[in-house]
Structure 1
């Protein structure tokens, strides 16, 4: 059984489908997606459809990202959609656009809202790893982490988590397409929605697959990266 972690997809369904083909997902594999499935890229609708299929037929463990949090907030009565639209929600609505109608939240099917709201987790933990979307406070247990740290905090060098577990995260996009490996923390947001790559890490062996919207594939090892994160986003 492999434990595979996937970085921020951001509506890039071509890269995601290519990645699934490249890793040759097996029924016994555990696939952990780190959030930010929607916004910025062109095919958020298709990405959520694919995740639903994986959730129903494989061992998918999906996390929420800050873009899912913003999307859920935009749906609440009395809340403005302006913030969400400004950070990529416009592209998400357009992926659901029906001919002859203005893009609307009403076009997003209930099963997509239900998946994001009820099935996407805030964090996930194994014997050796902690999976979060953005970051965490190294001195606090997972149940006491703030929403800001889990979903919005940029990656910067922090002390290892007191548990001694390796933290796997996304959120802070690396425009050079290279993951960040701090030893105790690894960031897999490699800018799939820009000119970078979508990354998938086998957390036990260190094998890394990367694909992009052009359908290109490359493989390497996370051990080849030892770098300081770029937090310019």
Structure 2
């Protein structure tokens, strides 16, 4: 990353490929910037296949902009669905049925065998547990305040909701997370954290946040885009 690059966090996409495309087009990305999708890229929304396709070709679309995608609990469930009947049932009940539908060739029922190898490679090898910048901690779900990132248990990183304002992290850095849906359609701004899961797959918005400036871009599945600032919320 070049000096002066900015960090753009993206909330839970959940298969909303139209909203993702509109948001990426709206972000004022320039060489040296970093884009961090916070996980839950798949499930529930109409086009998880399209979401993964777009992220796989991200570097071609945005040369010299770094992509650091995080792992969410839905990526974990999709990967585990290959392990057995019970794991597959759990995933399907949590939105995996919509994901499979996006891989259905010529309208017929799809199976996990229809997921391209490059998508499994992306899910298995490209996703990160967290990311840390000079000022922020980027995670999917939540953090224990008294543990460094490398010691956080999977339960906190991927599954634990952030319903209550968290205490300050030992690093002194602000947490930027997703996972906990904000029914208002707006990011939740707390003293030590910002949650940017704004319900893209539930008729809400997909949020992009510039961590340095506090500027927010939002897009929905109709392709509409709006902008605001964290200090306006």
TM-score by length of 2: 0.93
1:62 to 69, 77, 82: 69
1:52 is aligned to 2:56: yes
Deviation at 1:55, TM superposition (A): 4.4
Q: Which of 8, 11, 34 is matched with 1:7 structurally? A: 11
Shift of 1:160: 1.0
Q: 1:202-221, aligned counterparts within 5 Å?
A: 202-221=210-229
Q: How many residues align?
A: 225
Note if contact 1:38-1:44 (Cα within 8 Å) is conserved in structure 2.
yes
Q: Do residues 114 (structure 1) and 121 (structure 2) align?
A: yes
Pick one of 160, 169, 172 that aligns with 1:161: 169
Q: Does 1:30 align with 2:37?
A: no
Cα deviation code 1:59-95 (max 9, x no counterpart): 1000000000110111125653011000100000000
Q: Are 2:18 and 1:18 aligned?
A: no
Pairing of 1:55-94 with structure 2 (within 5 A): 55=59, 57=63, 58-77=65-84, 80-94=87-101
**Conserved? CA contact 1:179–1:188, under 8 Å:** yes
1:145 aligns with 2:149: no
Cα 1:82/1:212, change in 2 over 3 Å: same
Q: Does the 8 A contact of 2:165 with 2:192 survive in 1? A: no
Instruction: Tell me how far apart the structure 2 counterparts of residues 26 and 19 of structure 1 sit (CA, whole Å).
Output: 15
Contact between 2:165 and 2:191, CA under 8 Å: does it hold in 1? no
Gaps of 5+ in 1: 226-233
Displacement, 1:106? 0.3
What is the CA RMSD across the aligned residues, in angstroms?
A: 1.3
Report deviation, 1:176: 1.4
TM-score, length basis structure 1 = 0.93
Structure 2: distance between partners of 1:80 and 1:184: 35
8 Å CA contact 1:55–1:61 kept in 2: the answer is: no
